[in-house]
Structure 1
C-alpha cells in the first residue's frame, strides 16, 4: 500500500460535507477491524460506503491517507480525563476500566490486524503509541497526584511511572493478542494484586 502524508489533507475545492467525511472514516475503521490494514483499498471503501470514488479522491489521495485520517479521528474520541473517585483504589479501578473500554472489541480487532504492518511503518506506529501513551500517562499522573494529596501515597510515587505501562500491557495482551474481553474480575485482580501492592512501596 503506498504511503503518503500522515495528515491526509483534503484537496482544494468546495466545502467538505461532514456527513460524507464521517461515513468514509467510519467505514474505513470497520474495514480495518474486519480485514486488517493491508486489505483496505479505495475500492472497498467506495463499495461499502456507497460513496463515489471521485468524492473520496477529492478528500484523500489514496487508501493510506484515509486509514491515517480514520485512526486519528477515532483516537480523538478517547476520554482524556478521569473524575476523582474518592480513593486510590477507586481511581485505579476507574483507570483500568477506562483502558479496557478504550481497547473495546472493535479497536482490539483493528489493532490486531495492524501489528505486523506497524512494524513496517514506524510513522503509523508512532501515531498510535504517542496518543495511547499520552492518554495513559496523563490519567496515571492525575491519579497519583490525587492520592498524594489525600495522604495515601508519598510524593516519590510519581516516579513509579512504569506501573501504568504494566496495566495497559496486560489489558492490551488480553484484548488484542488473546482476543478476550477484560472482565470486571480481571480488572479488580489487576488493581488489587498488581497495582496496589506495587504502590505500597510508596506509602
Structure 2
C-alpha cells in the first residue's frame, strides 16, 4: 500500500513556490509569469500562493530576491577603493547571470504595472544598499572617509552610476575602465576618500 503524500507547509512550501516562480521567470520572463503555471510547477494551488503574495508583481520580486540573495557578498580588501571596485566588478559580471536576466525581465514590465514598479523600487532600496553601507562603514572605521558617507544615497552613488550605464546604453556588462573611472573620478572624491 502506498503511503499518503504529506502536505508541504511553511518554509518548505514557500521555497517550492519561489523556486517554481524563479524557473518560470527564467523561462518565460515576467510577461509569461502566471499564478496558475507557478502553482502547477510547485505542485500546489493558487490559493497557497495568494496567501503569501498578493499579486504577480510581489511573487515576481520575491522570486528575484531568492535568486539574487547569495550573489553579492561585500568584499573586505582593507581599503575603500579596492572594495568599491570589487563590488562593482561583481555586479558587472553578474549582469549575465540568471538573476540579472530575471531582473531585466521584471524591469521591462514596470511600465505596464505600477505595483511591480513599487515592488522593484522597494527591493532596490533595500537590497542594493546593504553591501555599499557595509564597505563604507568599514572605511569610516578605518578613517578613510567622513561619517556622512554612510548616508544611503551617498554610499550607493557608484552603484547608481553603473545602473545608469546599463539602462541608458542598453549594456549587459560595462568595460572595466568605466568602473575604474566611476570609482576614481566620482565615487572617491564625492565621499571624501
TM range (shorter): 0.5 to 0.7
1:75-130 CA-to-partner distances (Å, cap 9, x unmatched) read 15525762532111122123323434665532332233223432343333222222
Correspondence 1:93-104 to 2 at 5 A: 93-100=85-92, 103-104=95-96
Q: Does 1:56 align with 2:48?
A: no
Deviates more, 1:121-130 or 1:68-77: 68-77
2: CA distance, partners of 1:159 / 1:189: 22
Q: Which residue of 2 aligns with 1:146?
A: 138
- Structure 2-normalised TM-score? 0.67
Q: Which of residues 3, 24, 29 is equivalent to 2:22?
A: 29
Highest relative contact order (Cα 8 Å, sep 6+), 1 or 2? 1
- Structure 1-normalised TM-score? 0.65
Q: Which residue of 2 aligns with 1:167?
A: 159
How many equivalent pairs are there? 185
Gaps of 5+ in 2: 1-5
Q: Which residue of 1 aligns with 2:106?
A: 114
Deviates more, 1:86-95 or 1:127-136: 127-136
SS where residue 110 of structure 1 aligns? helix
Q: Which of residues 118, 126, 133 is equivalent to 1:126?
A: 118
SS where residue 126 of structure 2 aligns? helix
RMSD: 3.9
